[in-house]
C-alpha cells in the first residue's frame, strides 16, 4: 500500500466524496443528522468544525440552524472549495490548515464538532489539540466527536505499527501527515479527552465502529 499525503488523498477523491461517505460508511445516514442535532440550536451559536471537509455535517446543521456562525478548518483546499460552493449564503469562515497548528480564539465557541477526521492521529497529538480546544470553548461549551474507533487495544497497536512500518519502508518524511487510519479505542479517546480537561465525557450512540462522544 502506497501512502499518500493527507491533503492529496482527499483532493483526488473529491469527485463523489459525499456519495461515498453516505453510501459506504456504516451508519452515515444516521450519524450525520444525529451529530448535527447535538449542536446548539440558538441563532447566535458559534461553532468550530475540525476537519470539516466538504461540510456534510454542516449541511445537516444548517437545516436545523441556518443562522449559526461556523469556523471550519481543513487541510485540503479542494475539500474547502467544494464546501464553499454549498454554503455561499451561510455565515462560515474557512481556514485551510492543520487544526494542530491553527491558533483557536479562546473562550468563544458554543460548541465544536469533528466527524471522521481525528482517527488519523496519536493520543499525544490529540491531547495537545483537545487542551487547546477546551480553552477555545465557552464555560458551557462542548465538543461533539463522531469518529471511527478501534475495536481492541491490539487493533490500535497494529494500525500504529503498520503506519510506522510503511513510512520507514517508503522513506517518507517524518513530520508530514499521510492518510492511514490509526483509530484509538473509544476508551483511550475518552481518557485523552478527560486528561485534556473535559470533565464529563459520554458515549451518546454508536454505529458499528463509529461512535458519537459528547464532551463538556
Given the rule CB under 6 A, which residues bind ligand SAM? 6-7, 10, 21, 51-54, 56-57, 73-76, 79, 98-100, 115-117, 120, 177
CB of 84 to ligand SAM, least distance (A): 13
**Would you say 116 or 156 has its CB closer to ligand SAM?**
116
CB of 13 to ligand SAM, least distance (A): 9
**Would you say 21 or 166 has its CB closer to ligand SAM?**
21
CB of 82 to ligand SAM, least distance (A): 10
Q: Which residue has the closest beta carbon to ligand SAM?
A: 53
CB of 56 to ligand SAM, least distance (A): 4
CB of 62 to ligand SAM, least distance (A): 14
**Would you say 77 or 140 has its CB closer to ligand SAM?**
77
In sign, the C-alpha dihedral spanning 138, 139, 140, 144 is: positive
Burial per residue of 179-198, b for 16 or more beta-carbon CB atoms within 10 angstroms, e otherwise: ebebbbbbebbbebbeebeb
**Would you say 22 or 44 has its CB closer to ligand SAM?**
22
**Would you say 128 or 195 has its CB closer to ligand SAM?**
128
Amino acid at each position: 500500500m502506497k501512502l499518500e499525503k493527507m491533503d492529496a488523498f482527499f483532493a483526488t477523491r473529491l469527485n463523489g466524496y459525499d456519495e461515498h461517505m453516505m453510501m459506504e460508511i456504516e451508519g452515515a445516514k444516521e450519524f450525520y443528522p444525529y451529530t448535527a442535532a447535538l449542536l446548539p440550536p440558538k441563532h447566535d451559536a458559534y461553532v468550530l468544525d475540525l476537519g470539516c471537509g466538504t461540510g456534510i455535517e454542516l449541511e445537516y446543521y444548517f437545516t436545523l440552524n441556518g443562522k449559526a456562525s461556523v469556523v471550519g478548518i481543513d487541510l485540503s483546499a479542494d475539500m474547502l472549495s467544494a464546501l464553499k460552493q454549498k454554503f455561499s449564503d451561510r455565515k462560515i469562515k474557512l481556514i485551510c490548515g492543520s487544526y494542530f497548528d491553527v491558533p483557536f480564539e479562546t473562550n468563544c465557541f458554543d460548541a465544536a464538532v469533528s466527524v471522521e477526521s481525528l482517527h488519523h492521529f496519536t493520543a499525544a497529538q490529540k491531547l495537545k489539540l483537545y487542551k487547546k480546544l477546551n480553552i477555545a470553548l465557552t464555560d458551557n461549551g462542548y465538543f461533539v466527536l463522531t469518529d471511527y474507533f478501534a475495536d481492541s487495544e491490539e487493533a490500535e497497536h497494529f494500525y500504529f505499527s503498520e503506519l510506522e512500518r510503511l513510512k520507514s519502508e517508503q522513506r517518507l518524511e517524518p513530520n508530514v501527515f499521510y492518510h492511514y487510519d490509526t483509530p484509538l479505542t473509544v476508551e483511550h479517546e475518552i481518557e485523552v479527552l478527560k486528561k485534556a480537561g473535559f470533565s464529563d465525557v459520554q458515549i451518546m450512540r454508536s454505529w458499528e465502529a463509529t461512535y458519537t462522544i459528547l464532551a463538556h
